[in-house]
Structure 1
Amino acid sequence: MSGRPGADLARLLDELGSTLLELVHAPASSVGAALAPIAAAPIHDPVDKERVVPNSLVLGVGVTGTDQIVRLLHEFGEQGAAGLVVRAPVAADARTRAAVDETGVALLAFTRGASWTQLSALLRALLAEGEVGGAEPDTLGGLPSGDLFAVANAIAALLDAPITIEDRNSRVLAFSGRQDEADSSRVETILGRQVPERYARLLSEQGVFRELYRTDQPVYIEPLPATGVTMARAAIAVRAGDELLGSLWAAVRGPLSAEHHRALCEAAKLVALHLLQQRAGSDVERRLRADLLGTALEGGAGARGALDRLGLADQPMVVLALTIDGAATPAGVAAGAELVGERQRLSDAFAMHLGAVHPSSAVAALSDVVYGLVPLPHQGERYAVGIATDFLDRIGGRGHHAFIGVSPVAEDIAGLARARDAVDRVLRVLRERDGPRVAQLADVHVESLMLELRDLVAARGDQPTGPVARLLSYDDAHHTCLVQTLRAWLDNFGDTVAAAASLYVHPNTFRYRLRRVAEVGRIDLEDSEARFAAMLQLRAVVSR
């Protein structure tokens, strides 16, 4: 967690401009002026139009032609957007430039062949570098703490070569500028944020990864023209003690000099520090967000301040609560660790999903439940149910069975505490019954009340009374099933044939047993109050 201010448009262009983004035209008013940090990078949807938050960089997927670009510039300019990104090539004609100057929205071109999903992920990574609490920036080795892009650029300057920083699975964590000086394989790696599979497989077959991970010195890899790798690579593993964190790769024109060899070794140590700081910062930020979200959901004196720090104050919200069923998980330390890991995986995926719905959404795990706060200014609970259902459909049936409860809309801080209580009640019902994976309180209200009544009965130690008590005593003494008979009859609304079928007995046998129920229990089955009392005891008091 770097604590740095959010990235502004100039920094985004500095980080991504050589590879992905090109500034078509900037507003005349912004030249020489201080730029506000980019607040979000929403994707424009022409069908489901949502207002964008001020200072957003809007991704105009599918936007083409001067007319459409000019119209969107004016639309987003009224909402305070900072920029609009459209697919290259873009004609910077007089009409487009005039619209940019008039609206104050910068126009950027996104390189052809690259994926919008990749660009969105890159922007999210850059925009997420600031912390929730707004602490002062820290530095490591003279560079902003945790800023891997700045580290990559610094190393590139030392080695005079384009740099990538990759994790243990060859996913690109950060890259330097000047990537256009490298070969086509490096460009493909940057655009895909992943080393191409064919190249990674070839490196593995040649034993490059094995050599890389068993030494603390740089490894030199000759060019492989058949795979598009026309430049050599110098790579070094990034370690913290015995733990492998990732690797550092430079596209070079020949073997490293002694000076560059030493520089790469020192750079690997610096990258390790930044990776550790970034990981620690991520853990601290996760705990901070969990504390803020927990404070907000309690609705006490600190709720207002917590919502302010989360950016969620003064707007109606819905609480979504996600949990997974660990009842079927085998006992043991390994199984427990697997369950914790699965919860964390779902928590991260849930945060990403809700962030796509609304950039101000907040997600945190509290105990074994993952809570999400989603601002819904124009939609209600049914919309939130759709969001939850869509998430569970996306993650599929892998792993443990997941449930999501949806609260009523909370209009204020007091309502937020009630919403949390409601969603906890929904989750409890979903855990204890076979049924839908997503529900709101209106869907399970009666079941929730019955569970609370059972809690009350258990706390007070209440025992069955009246007809039900007499039937239980008779069954215990004579090994009969009169309580089971009464339960089946009540559950089937007095339909003797259906009740008999549920117990796999002949209807005449069931009618005989039902007469015995009335005689032994001294209960009038024609009396609605007597039936209700018996049903309530059977559901809330009798445990068998």
Structure 2
Amino acid sequence: MRAAAGPGRGDAHALGEIITRLGPSLVTVAVAPEASLDRPLTGVSVNDPLLELPEGSGEALLAVGVNGGSPGAVTFVRRAAAQGYAAVVLRVDDELPEPVAEAARRHRLAVLTARTDVPWAHLATMLRVGITSPRHDELAGVPLGDLFGFANSLATQLRGAVTIEDPQSNVLAYSSVKDEVDEPRKETILGRQVPPKYTRILQERGVLRQLLASDDVVRMDAVPEVALSPRVAISVRAAGELLGSIWVAETGRPLAGDHTTVLREAAQTAALHIMRHRMELRAESNLRTSMVRDLLDGTAADVAAVRLGLDPQAPYAVTAFEAAAGGPPVNRLLPVVDLYVATFRPAALCVDVGPRVYVVLSGDAMAPAQIRRFAADGARRATAATQAQVYAAVGRSVASVDRVAASRHDADRVMRALLRVGSGRAVADLDEVGAAANLLEVLDLIRERPHLQEGPLRLLSDHAGDRHPALVATLRAYLDHFGDITAAAASTQVHPNTFRYRLRRACETAGVDLSDPMERLMLWLQLRLLG
């Protein structure tokens, strides 16, 4: 599948130039035969494993469906060279295997590598924007992803105050200017978002609508009643996706005469910076998530604590949230819990592991009643948001960060009891469901050791005839109601005399001695395991 082509051959950037602009954190040159990096890159193609490889004159080929460390990569490189591609991009986490490198050198084809966790779509878009972005000496010197450096460089050229925003009008970066700036810009920078009162003005004047519909520069006259100075803006897009916008406000003097041309070119370069910025934020978020999971697992908790900036001697507690069977998957539950945490306990850590979402609480507000209220309110809000029952399990407070895994273990035991025993609670801690949690672990032991399942109940369950399910239910009801025949009979919806007959029949069939307390206990445990 071929992505959008780049500029014409005469205007095309050299492969080496594009790689330098994108930086080594995105792609690395693994093999570069002589003059291969000087070759003009004309476009980006994505391999389709189900189709024959088409001709690719001067394009970069993303090796989707190809294992960079497999023998098949050698064949792929050879085919790509024969079809005229300028470079192949393989995803590998280690060094490129020598057979693949040798094939690339033999066929004079550049091979670039990217980490396996970098999405193909992201690579394709970044390469495409790198190909189509114009050369601009003043902006080219800014490291990719340095949005503040880019804003400052652009502000110097335009002689204005630059703000770079995302599609929701959140401030990503802004320039530092010595000239006087208007009040709306000050409020926007302080709040890191365009205030609603100014957004309404932009909507009323159709500025936001123009930015959505056009890739060209949009002008806005001054609004004296709110001290808003004249502005120009342009949307930033990559592969059709709106990444944000660049705003330039006058600072008491007119903008540079060529500001329209510079801003058009800057919008294309800004796409690279914003996408790199996104990638770095995603990498930082992934690392943070990994650290929190290590903390919960007790794996290198001291290292995780340092990286997360946690006080090693502060109190901590873990709360777990999970939806009932048939409820929303964890990828829908996580954003709901995350939003709740960000609103009410922003210092807490939130992460998903398996079907559960864990919240690590810390700080002064660690009284059991406060933690319980936090868990209950979170479960209530998550239940309302997902339209499915969400349970909350509270782990015990621990005195230091290296005990967080113990609190998580408590929360897991509580959650298992809530989901398995059916106590009618939506929120609990070990003090409330400790007996049920302990019982489930005892049953695990019995389940793992078949010889503990032998005895009267096995004989009764294996007894031929249609009556043995009723006999098993009779024994369970008798033991659950502590020998109260009337209550036990009512629970099985039979007459007390019928219940006595079934109980006697069960004891005779299986050889059960209900007068022996140890036999009653073992029988009750086996019945729990069976049920």
Deviation at residue 269 of structure 1 after TM alignment: 3.6
2:320 corresponds in structure 1 to: 322
2:422 is the counterpart of 1:431: no
User: Are 1:218 and 2:189 counterparts?
Assistant: no
Contact 1:168 / 1:245 at 8 angstroms: preserved in 2?
yes
Counterpart AA for 2:283: V
> By how many angstroms is 1:538 displaced?
0.8
Partner of 2:513: 524
Structure 2 CA distance for partners of 1:454 and 1:158, relative to 1, 3 Å:
farther
Equivalent pair of 1:235/1:250 in contact (CA under 8 Å): yes
Decide whether the 8 Å contact of 1:183 with 1:231 is kept in 2: no
Q: Which residue of 2 aligns with 1:235?
A: 233
Change (3 A) 1:180 1:413: closer
Cα-to-partner distance string for 1:101-124 (whole Å, 9 max, x where unaligned): xxxxxxxxxxxxxxxxxxxxxxxx
Matched, 1:384 2:382: no
The alpha-carbon distance between structure 1 residues 311 and 168, as it changes in their structure 2 partners (threshold 3 A), is: closer
Q: Which amino acid aligns with 2:457?
A: V
Shift of 1:315: 0.6
Stretch deviating more after TM superposition (244-253 or 529-538):
244-253
Change (3 A) 1:463 1:299: closer
- The equivalent of 1:485 in structure 2 is 474
Corresponding residue of 1:288: 287
Report the Cα distance in structure 1 between the residues aligned to 2:503 and 2:355, rounded to whole angstroms.
45
**2:275 corresponding residue in structure 1:** 276
Deviation at 1:344, TM superposition (A): 4.4
**What one-letter code is carried by the residue in structure 2 that aligns with 1:515?**
R
Match of 1:346 among 315, 326, 337: 337
| Corresponding residue of 1:502 | 491
Bigger CA radius of gyration: 2
Question: Which residue in 2 is equivalent to 1:405?
Answer: 393
CA distance in 2, matches of 1:537, 1:394: 39
The change in CA–CA distance for 1:150 and 1:469 in structure 2 (over 3 A counts) is same
The 8 Å contact of residues 162 and 182 in structure 1, kept in 2 or not, is answered as no
- Shift in Å, 1:444: 2.5
Q: Would you say how many aligned residue pairs link Structure 1 and Structure 2? A: 389
CA deviations over 1:175-213 (Å, ceiling 9, x no partner): 5578984476x6776677655668757866876545423
Contact 2:161 2:248 in 1 (8 A): yes
Moved more, 174-183 or 473-482: 174-183
The worse-fitting range, judged by mean Cα deviation, of 505-514 and 204-213 is 204-213
Number of the residue aligned with 2:248: 250
CA contact (8 A) 1:167 1:173 kept: yes
1:260 Cα deviation after fit: 1.0
**Cα distance change of structure 1 residues 377 and 221 upon mapping to structure 2, 3 Å threshold:** closer
In structure 1, distance between residues paired with 2:344 and 2:355: 19
| Pair 417,514 (structure 1): closer, same or farther in 2 beyond 3 Å | same
Q: Report the 3-state secondary structure (helix = DSSP H, G, I; strand = E; otherwise coil) of the residue aligned with 1:408.
A: coil
Query: What is the distance in 2 between the residues matched to 1:244 and 1:476?
Result: 71
Give the aligned partner of residue 261 of structure 1: 260
Q: Runs of 5+ in structure 2 lacking a partner?
A: 1-138
Structure-1 separation of matches of 2:482 and 2:245: 68
The residue correspondences of 1:395-474 to structure 2 (distance < 5 A) are: 397-399=384-386, 401-411=389-399, 415-434=403-422, 435-461=424-450, 464-474=453-463
Letter in 2 for 1:165: I
For the residues of structure 1 that align with 2:258 and 2:144, how far apart are their CA atoms?
A: 26
Q: Is 1:304 equivalent to 2:302 in the alignment?
A: yes
Whole-angstrom distance in 2 between the partners of 1:196 and 1:376: 32
Letter in structure 2 aligned against 1:328: G
Q: Deviations over 1:453-483 (max 9, x none)?
A: 3333333445743332233234754365121
SS at match of 2:504: helix
Q: Distance in 1 between matches of 2:488 and 2:175?
A: 73
TM-score, scaled to structure 2: 0.60
* Structure-1 separation of matches of 2:469 and 2:312: 62
The 1:148–1:439 alpha-carbon spacing in structure 2 relative to 1, beyond 3 Å, is farther
Give the Cα separation in 2 of the matches to 1:205 and 1:527.
Answer: 84
Question: What one-letter code is carried by the residue in structure 2 that aligns with 1:237?
Answer: S
- 1:323–1:370 contact (8 Å) kept in structure 2: yes
CA–CA distance in structure 2, aligned partners of residues 191 and 415 of structure 1: 39
Residues in 2 aligned to 1:154 and 1:163: alpha-carbon distance in whole angstroms? 9
State the AA in 2 paired with 1:531: R
Change (3 A) 1:495 1:218: farther
Q: CA 1:189–1:416 in structure 2 vs 1: closer, same or farther (change >3 Å)?
A: closer
Letter in 1 for 2:334: R
Per-residue CA deviation, residues 322-356 of structure 1 (Å, 9 max, x unaligned), is 343273158xxxxx6xx425424534653664434
Structure 1 pair 170–476 and aligned structure 2 pair: CA distance change class (3 A): farther
Letter of the 1:518 partner, please give it.
C
**1:238 to partner: Cα distance:** 1.5
Deviations 1:470-522 (A, max 9, x none): 33234754365121122223223333333333333344443443333333333
Native 8 Å contact 1:470 1:521 kept in 2: yes
The change in CA–CA distance for 1:438 and 1:165 in structure 2 (over 3 A counts) is: farther
Retained in 1: the 8 A contact 2:318–2:404?
no
SS of equivalent to 1:293: helix
Q: Aligned-pair distance for 1:533?
A: 1.8
| Contact 2:383 2:389 survives alignment (8 Å) | no
Q: Distance in 2 between matches of 1:511 and 1:528?
A: 19
Q: After superposing the two structures, state which structure 1 stretch, 388-397 or 440-449, moved more.
A: 388-397
C-alpha distance in 1 between matches for 2:273 and 2:307: 26
Assess if the C-alpha contact under 8 Å between 2:321 and 2:379 holds in 1: no
Describe the SS at the equivalent of 1:516.
helix
Tell me, yes or no, if the aligned pair for 1:320 and 1:404 is still in contact at 8 Å: no
Q: Any idea what the Cα deviations from partners look like across 1:416-474, whole Å, max 9, x if unmatched?
A: 44333333322333333444343333332222223223333333445743332233234
Residue pair 1:183, 1:229 contacting (<8 A) in 2 also: yes
Q: What residue is the counterpart of 2:346 in the other structure?
A: 355
Change (3 A) 1:387 1:292: same
8 Å contact kept, 1:474–1:480:
no
1:237 is displaced (CA, Å) by: 1.1
Partner of 1:99: none
What residue is the counterpart of 1:536 in the other structure? Answer: 525
Are the aligned partners of 2:380 and 2:390 in contact in 1 as well (CA < 8 Å)?
A: no
Q: Distance in 2 between matches of 1:232 and 1:378?
A: 48
CA distance in 1, matches of 2:176, 2:379: 39
